[in-house]
C-alpha cells in the first residue's frame, strides 16, 4: 500500500506551502485530483481561488513561476526537466529553461559561521582578506573573493546554511507526490515518475558535494593539459570540503561581451574557434563535458585564452555511446531516415512499443526540411527544437546526458554565432569526427573487446563439461522439472477442436447422402403416400439443412 503525503505529518507545513503555491498559479485541479486538501487541512474554497480567467499567462509560464516561488529544489527540478523533451512538450521545455538561479545572498553572519565550522578555525587564520559581499549568489551557494597568506587570489564557494535540510525535505515530498501521480493519473501508465525523481535526487545530491566539483575541475585540467587555449583554475584542497570550495580566481572579459572584447583587441573568430574546439574535444575525445556552458561561466583572458568556471554540472559519454552518436550523425548527413530509426533502436532509445513507420515518416519529413542545405547553414539549436516534438510524440527515452549534450551544443553554438555570425561549428568538428571514425576502425579499438570476448568463450568452453555433468546427474535423480509454456495454446486447441467438429459433421453428411442414394432403388418413390417416399424426402430435407448450416459456419469463419 502506497504511503500518502498526509501521513508525513512532520513536513505538513511544507506540504501546505507547496499546495497553496500550485493552487495560486492555477494548478488546483491537480491538487484536487491527488486529494491533498483534506489531509493538509486546507479549505476547498482555495480551489475556487484558482487562476483568474483574465490571466494572460499560459500553463508553461505559470509552472515556471510556481517553481521559482517554491525555492532551490524546485528550481533545480525545473532546470532538469528543461533538458527532457521526452517528458514535456516543447513549450514547457522552452519556458523552464528560463528558470532563474539567482537569489539574494544569505546573511553574512550565517555564512561566516558556516565557513568557520568547515575550516575549523577563524577566517582570519586562513585568509588574509575575505570580502563579505558575494561576487555571485545562486540557490545552492554563494561565491566570495578572498586572499590566501601566500598572496594567491581565490574565490570561496560556500554552501548556503541549512540548504541540505530544506532540499532533503523537498525530495521526500517529491517522492510522495510522484507516487501519488503515478497511482492516480494517466501519466503513471506512461512514465516511471518515481524513477525520474530518484535520478533527480541523485543529481542534486551530487551537486551539493563540493569535493566532487573540485575533482571535476582537476579532471578537466588533466584532459586539457596540452591545450593552451583553455585555462582551468587550480583547486586548493587544503581548504576544500563538501560544503566549501576554494579555487584560483581568474579574471577576464565575459565570453559574450562583444564591445569589451573588441576594445581589448581580441580576435573574436579565434575565441569562437577555441570555444568550439573545447566542447568538441570534451564530447568526442574525453567523453566528459561541461554541461552548464552559459557565457557567465567563461571569461576571455589575454591571448584569447578561455577561462572556465563552475564545474558542478557535467555530462558523461561512454566510448560506446560516442561511437553510436557518430554513426547516428553519419546516417543523418546521408539523409537515411531508415538508418536513423535503426540506430535509435540499437541505442535503446525507442522503447519496445514504438510506431516504427510513424517515427520513420516524421524523421523523413524533418530531413526534407534540411535537404540540400550546406552543413554550415544548419543550426544545432533549430535541429534540437525540431527534434523535441518527435521525441515527445514517440516517447524517445534518451539518457539525460544526451539531452544535456544537446543543450550544451546549442548554448555553445549560440555563443559562437554571437562572436562570429557566420561561424560553422560543423567545420570545426569535422576533423575530430574523422579522427574518431579512424579510431573506431582501428584494430586497437576493436582488438581489446575481441580479446575479452575470446576469453569469455574460452571460460564458457571450460565450464560446459562440468555444468553438463551436474545437469545430467540432477536429471537422473529426478530433480529437474521441465515446464513448457506456449503462448496462445488455448486458442490454438479451440480452433483445432472446431475444425475436428466440422470434419466429423462433413463426414456424417456425406454418409447420409450416400446412404440415401443407396436406398433409392429399393423403394417405389413414385407413390406419394408410400412410407418409403416420406422417409426419403424427410431425409433429404434434414441433410440439406445440415449442409446449409455447415456452409454458413465455414463462410462466417472464413475457412
Closest CA to 315 of 291, 336, 334, 338: 291
292 is catalytic: yes
| Beta carbons within 10 angstroms of residue 340's beta carbon | 21
Give helix then strand counts, H and E, for the chain: 22, 11
Q: How far apart are CA 70 and CA 74, in angstroms?
A: 6
Helix (H), strand (E), coil (C) string for 407-442 = HHHHHHHHHHHHHCCCCCHHHHHHHHHHHHHHHHHC
**Contact assessment for residue 220 and residue 232, using Cβ atoms and an 8 Å cutoff:** yes
- CB under 8 Å to 273, separation ≥6 — which residues? 428
φ, ψ of residue 136 in degrees (nearest 5): -155, 155
User: Quick check: 158 and 111 in contact, CB under 8 A?
Assistant: yes
Supply 33's cell numbers: 485530483
CA gap 83, 408 in Å, rounded: 10
Pseudo-torsion of CA 127, 128, 131, 136, nearest 10°?
-50
Please say whether the beta carbons of 139 and 101 come within 8 A: yes
CA distance 169 to 328: 42
For cell 406419394, what's the residue? 528
Indicate which residue of 170, 292, 310, 401 is catalytic. 292
Q: What is the per-residue DSSP string for 187-241? A: GGGT--HHHHHHHHHHHHHHHT-HHHHHHHHHHHHHHTTT-TTEE-PPB-GGG--
Closest CA to 82 of 488, 388, 501: 388
Q: Is 221 exposed, middle or buried (0-12, 13-18, 19+ CB in 10 A)?
A: middle
Q: Which long-range contacts (CB under 8 A, 24 or more apart) does 112-115 make?
A: 113/161, 114/158, 114/159, 114/161, 114/243, 114/244, 115/156, 115/158, 115/244
Q: Which residues are catalytic?
A: 292
Amino acid at each position: 500500500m502506497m504511503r500518502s503525503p498526509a501521513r508525513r505529518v512532520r513536513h505538513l507545513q511544507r506540504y501546505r506551502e507547496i499546495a497553496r503555491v500550485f493552487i495560486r498559479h492555477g494548478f488546483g485541479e491537480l491538487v484536487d485530483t491527488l486529494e491533498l486538501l483534506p489531509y493538509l487541512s486546507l479549505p476547498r474554497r482555495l480551489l475556487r481561488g484558482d487562476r483568474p480567467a483574465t490571466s494572460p499567462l499560459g500553463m508553461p509560464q505559470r509552472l515556471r513561476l510556481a517553481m521559482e516561488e517554491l525555492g532551490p529544489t524546485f528550481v533545480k527540478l525545473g532546470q532538469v526537466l528543461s533538458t527532457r523533451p521526452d517528458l514535456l512538450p516543447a513549450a514547457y521545455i522552452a519556458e523552464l529553461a528560463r528558470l532563474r538561479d539567482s537569489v539574494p545572498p544569505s546573511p553574512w553572519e550565517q555564512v561566516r559561521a558556516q565557513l568557520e565550522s568547515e575550516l575549523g578555525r577563524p577566517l582570519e587564520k586562513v585568509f588574509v582578506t575575505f570580502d563579505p559581499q558575494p561576487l555571485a549568489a545562486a540557490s545552492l551557494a554563494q561565491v566570495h573573493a578572498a586572499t590566501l597568506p601566500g598572496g594567491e587570489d581565490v574565490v570561496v564557494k560556500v554552501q548556503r546554511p541549512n540548504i541540505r535540510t530544506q532540499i532533503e525535505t523537498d525530495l521526500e515530498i517529491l517522492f510522495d507526490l510522484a507516487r501519488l501521480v503515478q497511482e492516480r493519473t494517466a501519466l503513471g501508465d506512461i512514465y516511471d515518475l518515481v524513477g525520474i525523481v530518484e535520478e533527480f535526487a541523485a543529481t542534486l545530491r551530487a551537486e551539493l558535494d563540493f569535493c566532487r566539483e573540485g575533482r571535476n575541475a582537476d579532471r578537466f585540467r588533466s584532459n586539457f593539459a596540452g591545450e593552451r587555449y583553455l585555462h582551468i583554475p587550480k583547486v586548493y584542497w587544503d581548504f576544500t570540503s563538501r560544503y566549501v570550495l576554494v579555487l584560483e580566481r581568474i579574471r577576464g572579459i565575459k565570453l559574450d561581451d562583444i564591445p569589451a572584447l573588441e576594445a581589448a583587441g581580441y580576435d573574436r573568430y579565434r575565441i569562437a574557434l577555441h570555444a568550439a574546439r573545447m566542447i568538441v574535444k570534451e564530447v568526442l575525445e574525453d567523453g566528459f563535458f561541461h554541461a552548464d556552458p552559459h557565457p557567465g561561466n567563461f571569461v576571455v583572458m589575454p591571448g584569447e585564452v578561455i577561462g572556465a568556471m563552475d564545474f558542478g554540472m557535467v555530462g558523461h559519454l561512454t566510448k560506446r555511446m560516442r561511437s553510436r552518436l557518430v554513426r547516428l550523425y553519419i546516417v543523418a548527413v546521408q539523409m537515411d531516415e531508415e538508418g536513423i530509426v535503426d540506430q535509435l533502436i540499437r541505442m535503446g532509445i525507442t522503447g519496445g512499443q514504438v510506431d516504427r513507420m510513424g517515427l520513420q515518416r516524421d524523421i523523413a519529413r524533418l530531413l526534407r526540411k534540411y535537404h540540400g542545405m550546406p552543413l554550415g547553414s544548419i543550426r544545432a539549436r533549430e535541429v534540437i527544437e525540431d527534434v523535441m516534438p518527435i521525441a515527445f510524440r514517440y516517447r524517445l527515452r534518451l539518457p539525460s546526458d544526451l539531452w544535456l549534450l544537446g543543450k550544451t551544443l546549442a548554448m555553445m553554438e549560440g555563443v559562437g554565432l554571437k562572436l562570429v555570425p557566420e561561424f560553422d561549428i560543423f567545420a570545426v568538428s569535422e576533423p575530430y569526427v574523422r579522427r574518431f571514425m579512424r579510431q573506431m576502425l582501428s584494430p586497437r579499438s576493436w582488438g581489446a573487446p575481441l580479446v575479452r570476448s575470446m576469453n569469455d568463450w574460452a571460460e564458457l568452453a571450460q565450464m560446459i563439461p562440468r555444468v553438463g555433468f551436474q545437469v545430467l546427474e540432477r536429471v537422473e535423480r529426478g530433480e529437474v522439472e521441465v515446464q513448457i509454456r506456449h503462448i496462445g495454446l488455448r486458442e490454438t486447441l479451440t480452433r483445432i477442436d472446431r475444425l475436428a467438429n466440422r470434419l466429423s459433421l462433413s463426414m456424417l453428411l456425406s454418409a447420409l447422402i450416400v446412404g440415401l442414394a443407396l436406398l433409392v432403388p429399393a423403394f417405389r418413390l413414385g407413390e406419394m403416400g408410400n412410407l418409403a417416399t416420406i422417409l426419403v424426402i424427410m431425409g433429404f430435407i434434414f441433410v440439406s439443412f445440415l449442409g446449409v448450416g455447415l456452409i454458413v459456419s465455414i463462410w462466417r469463419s472464413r475457412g
